[in-house]
Structure 1
Amino acid sequence: MVTWGDLAAYVRDQYDVISEQDGEIRILFDFQHLNEEDERTQVIIVAREVLDRKHEWVQIATPMGLAEKVDLRELLAEIGRSSIACGAAIMGEHVVLRHSLPLQDLDIHEFTEPLALLSGTADTLEEQFFGGDDY
């Protein structure tokens, strides 16, 4: 059984942590390890969530841009066409992509692969719909 503490230790060891508070770690996902010439990055929020006060989950989320600056219908249509492992939401003022996983019996590949997929998808959508690499 994986706990939040186990996952947090793994994240600290494997990724560039830019901030941390109780139940939340922010990392800077660097695409250079996939392509040496790619200087793009994506801020990823890894957060502990508790469902029904008893089931531990981890949520992986990344902001793409301000909701007021995008055609949400077009963005959601593109996510529907091009994404298999994440959903979109508005959190605060930002459009984010996110994916959630139960911690019980979590295999580390069930975390790392969706994190990489979410990062890449968000980075592509951020460039396409927001015109930059601000997050």
Structure 2
Amino acid sequence: MAEAKKYPAPQGNPETTPFWEAAKQGKLLIKRCTACGEAHYFPRSICPFCFSDKTVWEESSGEGEIYTFSLMRKSATGPYAIGYVTLKEGPSLQTNFVDCDMASLKIGQKVKVVFRPTEGAPLPFFTVA
């Protein structure tokens, strides 16, 4: 039986503590600017659109679609895929795709967030919905 893949524990900071605490509960948080209304990811206190510091945490549905991806067929650990997912809420994020047939991934395909354990907070990845 294959040994489960081990992921490094994320290195958080006080600004991202709510994100990692929500991840422990299986929730994906994003930030939304209350000044311009834009949602953004990665979580940070300054809005990348209008530079306001009026941002709030918001729970994402964790659903989105593949914007683009790259399949790495040869590696020491076997094939894997990385890419960008555009969330229903608007932001795009870079991620790894897990628990799916890598050869059948397609741009525009619906995906959902899944969390993988680490020695700290779990890490968010995406799989086919």
Fold match by TM threshold 0.5: no
Q: TM-score under structure 2 normalisation?
A: 0.25
Q: If each structure's helix is expressed as a fraction of its own residues, which one has the higher value?
A: 1
Q: Which has the larger radius of gyration?
A: 2
Normalising by structure 1, what TM-score?
0.24
